[in-house]
Structure 1
Amino acid sequence: MRTIITADSSAELLALIPHLSGYVPRESVVVVPFRAGRSLAMLRVDRVTDDIDAFAATTIGTACRVPDVDAVVLVVYADGVLETSGARDVLEALRIRADACGLFVIDTLAVAENGWASYRVDQDPSPRSLDEIARAAPAGLLRPRDDQAGGSTLVRAPKERRRRVSAALVDTERAANLLLMQARASTEPSDEVDARAARILAALTDVATSWETALEFTSLDDDILTDERAALLLWCLARPSLRDVALAHWCHGADAARRVLSAQLEWEESGDYPAGPLFLAGEGPRPDPVRLHRALRMLRGLAALATGRSRGTALASAAWVAWALGWGTHAGAYAHAALSVDPGQRLAEIIDELSSHGHLPGWAFTRAEP
């Protein structure tokens, strides 16, 4: 026998959702999947007002990918007043799809500017006070201020700092060309190479160290993203094959990066990419979320330091990392920003498409390690 959540516990759940998600959902549908009475995760998608049936089918279909899910709570967050929000129609469409998929619907809830309500029994409920949600929150629980787009605003470094990074990027390109010519000629480094170029050449031969060091970045005021290191990272991100190796490094570490590099070299030699999960497509093991959070912070820093297409490459990588974290709203924002400065940025186009359709990486549906 299943236990139905009472109205009071529904208010408590609504109080917990912003805390669990880290933001206050706005114009959203939230699905909370359960297994054997315990919540498993939280799925948030932008609410749509047209083709509600298709929207419900896609949303519930996504929730069904959560392993062993057997029940759901459905919540609509709407601007305006509850009575004219259209929440009831959306919830009913979601409920019908959940029933068809064999999911027990624990409750159907809506939150609007003038109150909240449960539609589980009453199809035309009167709004209840939002104060009930506030009172139901556990003591000491801090309510986030931002909605799902909060924290995605981009900043720019001072113009002089951006100019220095741009100049360092030119030097990096020159040093890389010199290194390539030396490799082809099998000669020793020239005595004519200046000190800065020598440092860049050394970094290019051990770029993985720079990738790992970059994860220590906290703000533009620290000394992690020096002009030369920022230029080196931007140079790497501008080359898709090297960018993919860097992303693998930031996801899983040096061993994963070496595997991706080996696979790419095999593909270049034979034309066949080795069989196995494609991490860039969201396949394979779940990345370390701590490393991904650090990578996203660092990539936002790189974007602040970059100009032109280099800014676009940094933002495209930031979009992918946000998508890998399951932050579709942030991923879409970074992808749009990347395309505004580099309309042909392919990775940004892919992430824009994925985020706009609510597609999540496969590891979002695997059980996290305890």
Structure 2
Amino acid sequence: MTEKLNLNGPADLLATVPHLLGVKPVESFVVLTARAGSLGATLRTDAPEHVEPVSYAQTLTSHAANDEQATASYVIVYTDEHLDSGYPYAVHVAALVNELAAARMPVRNVWLVTSGYWAEFGTDEQNPLAQITDSQANATLTYFGSATDVDVYNPALLGTWALRVQAPEGSEEDIEAACKAWAAVLDATENPDQQTAREIAAAFQHKMVRDFLFRETITTHNGNFADVMLGKFTARPDWDRVDRAEALAFELMKVVPAGQRAPMLTLMGWLEWLKGNGTQADRYLKHAAADVPDFRLAVLMRELITRGSIAEVARDAATSYKRRLI
């Protein structure tokens, strides 16, 4: 289902944030950009600790400004930080409101969400969290399959029975065969059988072959691997194909043991980053770096995310991933 979800009031809007991020934020600042009649980008960063307010606000605003069509914004502070008087991070919030206004994205509302209540920032009225969890938006998103705080990777659930696969030598014939097999399963409607899955999973174990498979996932590219990895495409990609690739990557992890799942986890993280979901992307990449200690591609991708980099394809409304129901 792809119809637009109508948000009626603060509780509905607050309910969408965990679905957009794939996780319930804690000790975080979230900025939602807004356009005429719809939400734009969703940005999350850790709550400031010993960070100068103006610098913090300018960094967040610079990321929000990548949404060139944004005309307004919302700010949500998730924290259990307690002050004897006043609101937590009040100076940082004030700086952020000023910076967003200067960037022509005036803040419509600021909210505080704690583990016990939510409130309009700066007011004394505390509202029950049940208003968010019982909201129409949360019910609708959950009904249509969205879930929050689902562990993206649980090795125990994937099993320990699978034998290791042998990576190919990386010849031109190996690359051609792997790309052909990967394209075939991407275009299919059902998951591959176990033998095919293991062959493709084996191909992902070779660095050069893996890079070609990453590039093969995106059909609208200029052939430069570095540009493809940064989301610099020649047109809007086939996002259904991207969704299919992410689902297949998870299936491939089921046919190999721990220690050989990092390439697929990295693929999933990269695809989430292309969609503009840095929080979920980082979760996959962190698991990849744990599956194979310091897995190089995952480490590099995490460095991009830590610096606040946004994929080129996610910056343009004409090419970016369209989230269902929002």
TM norm structure 1: 0.69
User: Counterpart amino acid of 1:74?
Assistant: V
Question: 1:100-150: CA deviations, max 9, x gaps?
Answer: 32321111111112322223xxx3533233344456535952556633xx3
Task: Label 1:296 to 1:81 Cα distance change in 2 as closer, same or farther (>3 A).
Answer: farther
What is the CA–CA distance in structure 1 between the aligned matches of 2:116 and 2:75, rounded to whole Å?
Answer: 19
What is the CA–CA distance in structure 2 between the aligned matches of 1:348 and 1:17, rounded to whole Å?
Answer: 26
2:261 is paired with a residue whose SS is helix
What is the CA–CA distance in structure 2 between the aligned matches of 1:105 and 1:25, rounded to whole Å?
Answer: 20
What is the CA–CA distance in structure 1 between the aligned matches of 2:138 and 2:257, rounded to whole Å?
Answer: 46
Task: Label 1:325 to 1:68 Cα distance change in 2 as closer, same or farther (>3 A).
Answer: closer
1:310 is paired with a residue whose SS is coil
Task: Label 1:49 to 1:223 Cα distance change in 2 as closer, same or farther (>3 A).
Answer: same
What is the CA–CA distance in structure 2 between the aligned matches of 1:246 and 1:159, rounded to whole Å?
Answer: 26
The residue number in structure 1 matching 2:105 is: 103
2:213 is paired with a residue whose SS is helix
1:114 aligned to 2:116? yes
1:65 aligned to 2:52? no
The residue number in structure 2 matching 1:32 is: 32
User: How far does residue 351 in structure 1 lie from its aligned partner after superposition?
Assistant: 1.2
What is the CA–CA distance in structure 2 between the aligned matches of 1:86 and 1:302, rounded to whole Å?
Answer: 45
Unaligned runs of 5+ in 2: 1-7
Q: 1:197-236 residue pairs with structure 2 within 5 A?
A: 206-215=177-186, 224-227=192-195, 229-236=196-203
Aligned counterpart in structure 2 of residue 251 of structure 1, from 218, 222, 229: 218
The residue number in structure 1 matching 2:93 is: 91
Task: Label 1:35 to 1:311 Cα distance change in 2 as closer, same or farther (>3 A).
Answer: closer
The answer to which structure, 1 or 2, has the higher relative contact order (CA under 8 A, 6+ apart) is 2
The residue number in structure 2 matching 1:237 is: 204
Q: Is the 8 A contact 1:82 1:113 kept in 2?
A: no
User: How far does residue 223 in structure 1 lie from its aligned partner after superposition?
Assistant: 6.1
Q: Larger % of helix: which?
A: 1
1:365 aligned to 2:319? no
TM norm structure 2: 0.76
What is the CA–CA distance in structure 2 between the aligned matches of 1:75 and 1:35, rounded to whole Å?
Answer: 17
What is the CA–CA distance in structure 1 between the aligned matches of 2:134 and 2:199, rounded to whole Å?
Answer: 52
Query: Which has the higher Rg, Structure 1 or Structure 2?
Result: 1
1:351 aligned to 2:319? no
User: Counterpart amino acid of 1:88?
Assistant: A
The 10-residue stretch of structure 1 (52-61 or 40-49) with the greater mean CA deviation from structure 2 = 40-49
Unaligned runs of 5+ in 1: 1-7, 184-200, 265-276
The residue number in structure 1 matching 2:274 is: 324
User: How far does residue 302 in structure 1 lie from its aligned partner after superposition?
Assistant: 2.5
Task: Label 1:216 to 1:105 Cα distance change in 2 as closer, same or farther (>3 A).
Answer: same
What is the CA–CA distance in structure 2 between the aligned matches of 1:353 and 1:364, rounded to whole Å?
Answer: 18
What is the CA–CA distance in structure 2 between the aligned matches of 1:30 and 1:356, rounded to whole Å?
Answer: 15
Q: Is the 8 A contact 2:79 2:114 kept in 1?
A: yes
1:152 is paired with a residue whose SS is coil
User: How far does residue 97 in structure 1 lie from its aligned partner after superposition?
Assistant: 1.8
The residue number in structure 2 matching 1:297 is: 247
Question: 1:248-293: CA deviations, max 9, x gaps?
Answer: 22222xx75xx63xx57xxxxxxxxxxxx81112222443332222
1:40 is paired with a residue whose SS is strand
User: How far does residue 304 in structure 1 lie from its aligned partner after superposition?
Assistant: 3.6
What is the CA–CA distance in structure 2 between the aligned matches of 1:326 and 1:345, rounded to whole Å?
Answer: 22
Task: Label 1:207 to 1:62 Cα distance change in 2 as closer, same or farther (>3 A).
Answer: same
What is the CA–CA distance in structure 2 between the aligned matches of 1:21 and 1:333, rounded to whole Å?
Answer: 11
User: How far does residue 16 in structure 1 lie from its aligned partner after superposition?
Assistant: 4.0
Q: Is the 8 A contact 1:82 1:111 kept in 2?
A: no
What is the CA–CA distance in structure 2 between the aligned matches of 1:361 and 1:204, rounded to whole Å?
Answer: 26
What is the CA–CA distance in structure 1 between the aligned matches of 2:119 and 2:213, rounded to whole Å?
Answer: 47
What is the CA–CA distance in structure 2 between the aligned matches of 1:136 and 1:302, rounded to whole Å?
Answer: 37
The residue number in structure 2 matching 1:155 is: 155
What is the CA–CA distance in structure 1 between the aligned matches of 2:153 and 2:247, rounded to whole Å?
Answer: 12
User: How far does residue 238 in structure 1 lie from its aligned partner after superposition?
Assistant: 3.1
Q: Is the 8 A contact 1:75 1:91 kept in 2?
A: no
1:305 is paired with a residue whose SS is coil
CA-atom RMSD, angstroms?
3.6
Task: Label 1:314 to 1:349 Cα distance change in 2 as closer, same or farther (>3 A).
Answer: same
